[in-house]
Structure 1
């Protein structure tokens, strides 16, 4: 759907024609496009289905789809979505993300917030991203639904930002559960940013226990070390 009332790009502030998002095509073109491993989503030297690290230490999910890294101009808008209560930005960011996904899952599951954090923030940005993705897929004739009642965060934890990978995993132990039966064998987990993947991994474990066979990850930004950086730091 075109935003007919949009006359200026939200990023560069220059006039632009009607667009699906609040950004002009020139600013969207500024978003870095780099080769990635299609499973873990981290940068690789060449685009590949499965990188060497995933062959030996695969993540709990099967495929990751993202827009780009956590860099400008995405960094500003993801930050506003998550921390400044600009929840409406999920619509525009979700449109960008939907264009990266050719085979959408019939069931989209937002990463849940604990009720205390939800009460403090008043919304879950992953819910809004999930609803936007389902809407976009359905508009394109690909049946998909978003359900934010299936995955539950049952333990309040420290924010993951700034924690090491090992501490992130320990921090989240026992934090999630599947609260409703799942009939779909193919699902997707949606979140705004994936860094170490510790949160997604633990959600995947619970989903596998519930009988899910294929798990995709939908995220605006996939950040973290590239495979080349990992190799040189070992």
Structure 2
């Protein structure tokens, strides 16, 4: 009797009451807690108390689900009105908003840049960014390059910032990498040796803590400033 009630409950949850939004939200919560590698249609269905076929009906394949979840992360961003501020201030603010959203869901950062483009939900972002850059004075190929520069910087930089270490619970690799880094031959790596105190655990490829634990706020702002300065120079 208990098993039959459980089956009926699962069937009810897989019926009209279940929506695509329900599945995407559940997947987002699951990935936030367990990580992207743990996500499967069968595991998520068990978590939600439905049959796997119900998930496939609403979101298609796992790849399509991951794409929808990646897009969902940035859907909550409220882009500022593009005509209420200078174009460069608008672009900088959008970059900060996107980074903040990605930091809230770091387990999805590896796929946000690669998966977001396959969903139509990214089009409002594209429309408004292109409009801002066009009104700033970019046109023809320069418009394409400016758009790719800004979008590539936002998604690429933050994805790299939030990249994780080896998939292991053993933290000894951090100690090992730090020891290896500090013992490099100064004759072979003189610049690295001179700046070791600055670089260790603070720079890409010389850090052992992810941006989740050690956000690179100042470096992001510096990189953003360089981007804006470069775009301004391009206009002149």
Q: TM-score range by the shorter chain?
A: under 0.3
Greater strand share, structure number:
1
Taking structure 2 as the reference length, the TM-score comes to: 0.27
Greater helix share, structure number:
2
Larger Rg: 2
